[in-house]
């Protein structure tokens, strides 16, 4: 990484691509749930390793005062949060492309709303003659907490929305409310076991989500 990137982080897109290239035993043709987790986990390891190296000298020098320390701390935290979300979207976009799925990323729907992914495209979304049942939207959040409600207002034409997350063990109260608001939770199959048995039948795996989207697009292309 030092030889390739020097003394600073590259863009998230470039770093995500580099991370995938180091996981030679996994490809987009494998089960999508496991492929995605492998890429995300590898990027996290590489990011923290490179970050530790880049911050090493700065930490050794110490800090002039508390404000100096807080400035660096906030910068590190914000970069970690931002890159985690962006890298997850990068790997999903790569997977969708490799699976031949048509999509638009962060296209504007109503007002300033920009869903993370729209299928098959933002142009189809704004074409009022395009059947709404052929549209799909996917929000992406590494963790949900209470922020999952933000997704509900991101594509008015689409009643049933999807949200992809890596958060395990979301409470039944939360998932019950998601269902009542027509929000379908999608997460890697491996994480389904962290949920209660009563929740699992409702959860979507990434592979199941892809199958639904591909079925719609195959019907459109007939």
Query: What residues are annotated to the active site?
Result: 125
Task: Report yes or no: 143 and 117 within 8 Å, Cβ to Cβ.
Answer: no
Q: Measured between alpha carbons, how far is 89 from 106 in angstroms, rounded to an integer?
A: 10
Q: Measured between alpha carbons, how far is 191 from 8 in angstroms, rounded to an integer?
A: 33
Q: Measured between alpha carbons, how far is 131 from 110 in angstroms, rounded to an integer?
A: 18
Q: Measured between alpha carbons, how far is 91 from 36 in angstroms, rounded to an integer?
A: 7
Query: What is residue 118's three-state secondary structure?
Result: strand
């Amino acid at each position: 990484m030092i030889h390739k990137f020097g003394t600073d982080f590259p863009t998230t897109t470039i770093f995500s691509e580099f991370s995938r290239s180091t996981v030679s035993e996994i490809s987009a043709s494998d089960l999508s749930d496991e492929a995605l987790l492998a890429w995300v986990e590898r990027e996290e390891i590489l990011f923290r390793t490179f970050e530790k190296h880049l911050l090493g000298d700065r930490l050794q020098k110490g800090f002039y005062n508390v404000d100096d320390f807080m400035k660096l701390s906030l910068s590190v935290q914000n970069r970690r949060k931002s890159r985690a979300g962006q890298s997850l979207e990068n790997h999903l976009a790569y997977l969708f492309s490799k699976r031949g799925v048509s999509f638009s990323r962060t296209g504007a729907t109503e007002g300033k709303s920009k869903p993370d992914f729209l299928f098959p495209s933002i142009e189809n979304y704004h074409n009022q003659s395009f059947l709404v049942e052929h549209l799909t939207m996917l929000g992406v959040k590494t963790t949900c907490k209470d922020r999952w409600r933000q997704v509900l207002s991101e594509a008015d034409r689409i009643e049933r929305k999807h949200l992809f997350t890596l958060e395990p063990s979301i409470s039944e109260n939360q998932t019950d409310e998601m269902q009542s608001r027509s929000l379908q939770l999608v997460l890697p199959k491996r994480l389904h076991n962290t949920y209660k048995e009563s929740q699992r039948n409702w959860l979507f795996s990434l592979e199941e989500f892809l199958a639904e989207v591909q079925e719609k697009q195959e019907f459109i292309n007939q």
